[in-house]
Amino acid sequence: MARVVVVGAGLGGLAAAARLAAGGHAVTVLEQSSEPGGKLGRFARDGHAFDTGPSLVTLPQVLRDLFDATGGPLEDAVDLVRLDPAVGYRFADGTRLTVPGRFEDVPAALDEALGDDAGRQWGSLMERAATMWRISEGPFLRSPLAGAATLARLARRPSDVAAIAPWQSLRGLGSRYLHDPRLRTLLDRYATYSGSDPRRAPAVLAAVPYAEQAFGSWYVRGGLHRLALAVLDRAVAHGAVLRTGSTVRRVLVEGGRAAGVELADGERVPADVVVSGVDAAALHDRLLPGDGRTRGVRRDLGRATPSLSGVVLLLALRGRTPGLAHHTVLFPEDYDAEFDAVFGVGRHAGRPVPVEEPTVYVNAPEDPALVPDGDSESWFVLVNAPRHDPGRGVDWTAPGLADRYADRVLDVLAGRGLDVRDRVRWRVVRTPADLERDTGSIGGSIYGSSSNGSRAAFLRPANASPVPGLFLVGGSAHPGGGLPLVTLSAQIVAGLVGPA
Ligand SMILES: Cc1cc2nc3c(=O)[nH]c(=O)nc-3n(C[C@H](O)[C@H](O)[C@H](O)COP(=O)(O)OP(=O)(O)OC[C@H]3O[C@@H](n4cnc5c(N)ncnc54)[C@H](O)[C@@H]3O)c2cc1C
């Protein structure tokens, strides 16, 4: 039995804690904030409740595996419901598209909304994407990152390399398969699931819509934050201890290996194994400064483009919106202008700015647990935004900026047919600076580093650090961000540490 310290009670840290505690280790989770969950957070006031981070569960099998491995089925722990329809889209030309929740129903819905050939175009892209998924799932997503060995596993057959097309961007792939510009916009959006720019993200990200449509879009009744609490329950049931209000300031290294951590108040917590669930850049810059063995990791982190961030509006609304889907996405006329603004490229080269005409994502769960009465709604509204970077980019703490921008988002929503301005009881605006402060993610990046560039997946730190006894979980480490991948990182780490 090893003494394990997990730093951070985000989903990555909690999932690692649950698996390692179930494996017989003595686990302590140290969390800086007063609540567990990290980005998988919750806000509630006056009967309105909101998830502050994730609103969509994909790849539920990954969660099922976690729960099965730690004491019993996922369905015993949370009420997971499959969404059908999955999402409603509104395009700038006025087209509305409702994507069904079942893979086999998608082509007909595309034909109906976009015209006759749309279903065929999307279907042939999804065939290619299914192959990409099969090639990358086991050797990449579910396996430790091992440099050349990982590349060799992925490139076992020339036909696999051709299918993945590492030289091609997601945008390039879309242009080959999709002749309808609205379908290309739809595909582009999946780059943002890893905080990336479709013009620079690799074609293999087409596996994301494939996995979403094939395995479904899901919701946790009561809010997704319940997932964090359920995973914590599993960890605690196996003897793990959560200490909130415990900020780790240093990873201790003795005799060349990780030996525990030091808290902000000076307390030392000794351990045989340290699992870091904090932002990898923060770990290396602040908690483990100057260790020569991690020079390569720092270099790679420096080469990667950080993921985009987001501005969130939590809207407590009076009245109800007829016919609104659980998820609604309202696209702008010029999607590229959004990526230029967010990443500071193209017409905003070197100068990221808040997006003037952003894509707006509205999450309006029909869930009595989230509203004070039947004549109210609790909306989570998200737009992509540049990271908080007062030195070289946007200073999201600048006086008045957050409120002005929230007004702008409400105006954009109104312009696209969802005017709720006179129904707002109150609102909470959360900027990238808030995300940075609350979760320790540098600049408020949602997903650690982005997938921009063909080598991006290999620039994320591996789950086993070069410092023996130190492991990395969470969205900024391999295999990347988003709930399912973060959960997989914990599975990989539990495998690397092994049972007691
Ligand atoms: C607005 C938003 C929308 C999203 N939407 C989706 C979605 O729909 N679907 C999806 O799958 N994913 C989504 N994501 C991404 C998903 O939330 C993340 O990938 C995932 O929750 C990250 O988990 P994590 O464990 O890596 O990190 P985090 O949740 O960031 O956890 C890190 C934890 O470490 C703690 N910590 C940091 N530093 C220290 C320290 N020094 N000492 C102690 N504790 C520390 C933090 O307080 C935090 O609790 C979204 C994220 C955001 C922000």
> Is the pLDDT assigned to residue 147 strictly greater than 80?
no
Return the higher-pLDDT residue of 148 and 355.
355
Select from 10, 2, 487, 491 the least CA-distant residue to 242: 10
For residue 39, the ligand 1 atom closest to its alpha carbon is 29
Where residue 145 falls among pLDDT bands split at 50, 70, 90? Answer: confident
pLDDT at 458: 87
Q: Whose CA is nearest to atom 22 of ligand 1?
A: 475
| Residues contacting 72, CB < 8 A, separation 6+ | none
Distance from C-alpha of 96 to C-alpha of 414, rounded to nearest angstrom:
16
pLDDT tens digits for range 277-303: 999 999 999 999 788 999 999 999 999
> Is the pLDDT assigned to residue 264 strictly greater than 80?
yes
Where residue 386 falls among pLDDT bands split at 50, 70, 90? Answer: very high
- Check: CB of residue 462 under 8 Å from CB of residue 124: no
Mutate which of 278, 361, 451 for ligand 1 pocket (most atoms within 8 A of beta carbon): 278
Distance from C-alpha of 426 to C-alpha of 341, rounded to nearest angstrom:
29
Read out DSSP for 33-50?
Answer: SSSSBTTS-EEEETTEEE
CA of residue 10 to ligand 1 center, whole Å: 5
> Is the pLDDT assigned to residue 400 strictly greater than 80?
yes
Determine whether the shortest distance from the Cβ of 309 to ligand 1 is under 6 A.
Answer: no
Determine whether the shortest distance from the Cβ of 310 to ligand 1 is under 6 A.
Answer: yes
Distance from C-alpha of 316 to C-alpha of 225, rounded to nearest angstrom:
18
Determine whether the shortest distance from the Cβ of 13 to ligand 1 is under 6 A.
Answer: yes
pLDDT at 267: 98
> Is the pLDDT assigned to residue 460 strictly greater than 80?
yes
- DSSP, collapsed to helix, strand or coil, labels residue 280 as helix
Strand partners, 315: 379, 427
Determine whether the shortest distance from the Cβ of 442 to ligand 1 is under 6 A.
Answer: no
Report the chain's mean pLDDT, rounded to a whole number: 96
Q: Whose CA is nearest to atom 14 of ligand 1?
A: 54
pLDDT at 157: 85
pLDDT at 150: 80
- DSSP, collapsed to helix, strand or coil, labels residue 427 as strand
Q: Residue 379 is encoded by which pair of tokens?
A: 């909306």
Select from 477, 482, 500 the least CA-distant residue to 144: 477
Determine whether the shortest distance from the Cβ of 247 to ligand 1 is under 6 A.
Answer: yes
- DSSP, collapsed to helix, strand or coil, labels residue 81 as strand
pLDDT tens digits for range 37-48: 999 999 999 999
Peptide bond preceding 499 in cis form (omega within 30 of 0): no
CA of residue 38 to ligand 1 center, whole Å: 5
What is the mean predicted confidence (pLDDT) over 483-499?
Answer: 97
Q: Supply the pTM of this predicted model.
A: 0.97
Determine whether the shortest distance from the Cβ of 10 to ligand 1 is under 6 A.
Answer: yes
> Is the pLDDT assigned to residue 160 strictly greater than 90?
no
For residue 473, the ligand 1 atom closest to its alpha carbon is 26
